[in-house]
Structure 1
């Protein structure tokens, strides 16, 4: 049996191709292993960040590919088509981290009513969330369009949730104006939605002229400013910058404009992928990467079993109903559709109000 895999050149993300890889058949699966058919997955700019940081943050090791190539991890759904684990039946639906492929073999471990873990040796040494699969058969929140929202936005909104929690825990570093670059991105407007609910915090979205109308329509930004106008922002009060864009030139302009009033500068994403490796020392707070697994581990310890899930679930329940107003889902099947969506996402050609749900199965 064979899987169809979509892979990219690790040193040139513009280069991509489809290959076939050999899979064990149902009879030769190892004990406790599952053969899973990847039924649908989301593709967003966040997946491009996984590729850009693939070596640094070990994303490439999760789903091995031929030498010089990588399989970009995506969030989506799979159906168990063969099972050698006594507690997991064929036909079960799993939600989690998959390769851009038609199939995946999972070495099931830590199986519970709610989920399981892939214990494959090459998948260890990364944040546990990347190896966890939820068992979602029959769950309304993971069915149909609700399931599409989960695949497209749940992982991004978890990042939004953790950044919001981190900032609130630190009293926003004394700032009451929060500047969010790449304001049209899904992680940014998820964070803006949460910050907007907090008392006394002004949320300012930084975006391109072409995305201004969309960002304004979201209703979760108090002010929307185009990148060419960021130095018009007042500097008479402390500000914090959450950088989703990863644009060195923008970061430098903001720091030099705000000076010591820049109380926090967090680097979250790389939607623009134009960071310089030799950035100068800037006035104000030193730019620092926000690493979500650190915050989730901290809160899991402090909040106890189920604490993170309960708080995140409450936040998601307030966010998900807005998505039908904000986003349109575009579906695509087959290798040509996946390649087109990938190249459009890589090259910034996807409108901010669009989300891709894809399948490599024809």
Structure 2
């Protein structure tokens, strides 16, 4: 049996192709190994960020590819089609981090009723969250459209949840407004939703979304931004009150403009994403708070210790329950199957051509 793998040149993400790799026979799988068929996966701008920082954060090591190439990690679903683990049955569905491919072999470890971990040696240098798989067979919240929405939004909304938690824990660094770039992105509007809900609890933080002219109507329609500002109007914002900036795009020129405009009133400047890919390696020292990377696994480790077993899951579950009812209105799930359709969807995502109200669910199987 062979797997179809979608690979990209690490140094030039525009260059991509499909290759076939040989899979082990089911009978030849080592003890505790599982052979999974990747049934469907989500593709968002977040996956482009994984590729852009793949070298730095070891994402390219998760799924092995020929020299100079990489397989971009995606969140999705896999069906167990062969199992050498006594407690994992053929036919089970797993949700987690998959390659853009048709198949994956994992070394099942720490198998529990709720999930398991891939213990493959080459995957152990990344945060454990990327090696965990949820066992979701028969769970209606992972089935059909609800499952698609989870694949598209849960990894991004977890990031939204952690940024919201970090900002609130630090009392927004003294800011009265939080400014989000790429306001139409899924991570941004998930964060805006959480920040906006804080107004109901008396935390009067304003939420300002920065977006392109073409996305103003969509961002405004979400109802979770107090103000929507186009990029060409950012210097028209009043610079008299303290602000926190959450940079979803990684645009160096925009970040510099905002810092110089707000000066000492820029109380926090957090870098979340790199979808714009216009960051300069040697950026000038800017007025206001020093731009820092927000690394989600650090916040996860901190809260796991403070909140104890299940604490993060319980709080995130409550947050997700507040977001999920909005998703059918905010997000149109669009499915594509086959090599050429996946290639086109990938290039559209890479080059910013996917409308913000669309969520792509893909499969390499024809």
TM-score, normalised via structure 2 length: 0.98
Structure 2 unaligned regions, length at least 5: none
Structure 1 unaligned regions, length at least 5: none
Q: How many residues align?
A: 362
| SS in structure 2 of the partner of residue 336 of structure 1 | helix
Contact 1:245 1:271 in 2 (8 A): yes
Equivalent in the alignment of 1:4: 4
Residues of 2 paired with 1:355 and 1:25: CA distance?
35
- Could you give the per-residue CA deviations for residues 49-108 of structure 1, whole angstroms, max 9, x where no partner exists? 000001011000000000110000000000000000000000000000000000000100
Measured after TM superposition, the shift of residue 235 of structure 1 is 1.2
1:213 maps to 2:213 = no
Equivalent in the alignment of 2:137: 137
Root-mean-square deviation (Å):
0.5
Equivalent in the alignment of 1:88: 88
Equivalent in the alignment of 1:121: 121
Residues of 2 paired with 1:237 and 1:252: CA distance?
18
Measured after TM superposition, the shift of residue 360 of structure 1 is 0.5
Equivalent in the alignment of 2:271: 267
Measured after TM superposition, the shift of residue 278 of structure 1 is 1.5
Matching residue within 264, 281, 286 for 2:285:
281
Residues of 2 paired with 1:272 and 1:125: CA distance?
27
Matching residue within 335, 338, 350 for 1:331:
335
Residues of 2 paired with 1:60 and 1:316: CA distance?
29
| SS in structure 1 of the partner of residue 359 of structure 2 | strand
Residues of 2 paired with 1:314 and 1:168: CA distance?
17
Residues of 2 paired with 1:162 and 1:63: CA distance?
26
* 1:155-166 equivalence runs, <5 A: 155-166=155-166
Residues of 1 paired with 2:357 and 2:275: CA distance?
15
- Could you give the per-residue CA deviations for residues 93-133 of structure 1, whole angstroms, max 9, x where no partner exists? 00000000000001000000000000000000110010000
Residues of 1 paired with 2:240 and 2:6: CA distance?
50
Contact 1:40 1:76 in 2 (8 A): yes
| SS in structure 1 of the partner of residue 56 of structure 2 | coil
| SS in structure 2 of the partner of residue 50 of structure 1 | helix
| SS in structure 1 of the partner of residue 97 of structure 2 | strand
Equivalent in the alignment of 1:204: 208
Equivalent in the alignment of 2:21: 21
- Could you give the per-residue CA deviations for residues 290-337 of structure 1, whole angstroms, max 9, x where no partner exists? 000000000000000000000000000000110000011110011111
Measured after TM superposition, the shift of residue 270 of structure 1 is 1.0
* 1:241-256 equivalence runs, <5 A: 241-256=245-260
Equivalent in the alignment of 1:153: 153
Measured after TM superposition, the shift of residue 25 of structure 1 is 1.0
Instruction: Extract structure 1 runs of 4+ deviating beyond 2 A.
Output: none
TM-score, normalised via structure 1 length: 1.00
| SS in structure 1 of the partner of residue 224 of structure 2 | coil
Equivalent in the alignment of 1:67: 67
| SS in structure 1 of the partner of residue 286 of structure 2 | coil
Residues of 2 paired with 1:287 and 1:79: CA distance?
42
Residues of 2 paired with 1:11 and 1:256: CA distance?
32
Contact 1:182 1:271 in 2 (8 A): no
Equivalent in the alignment of 2:168: 168
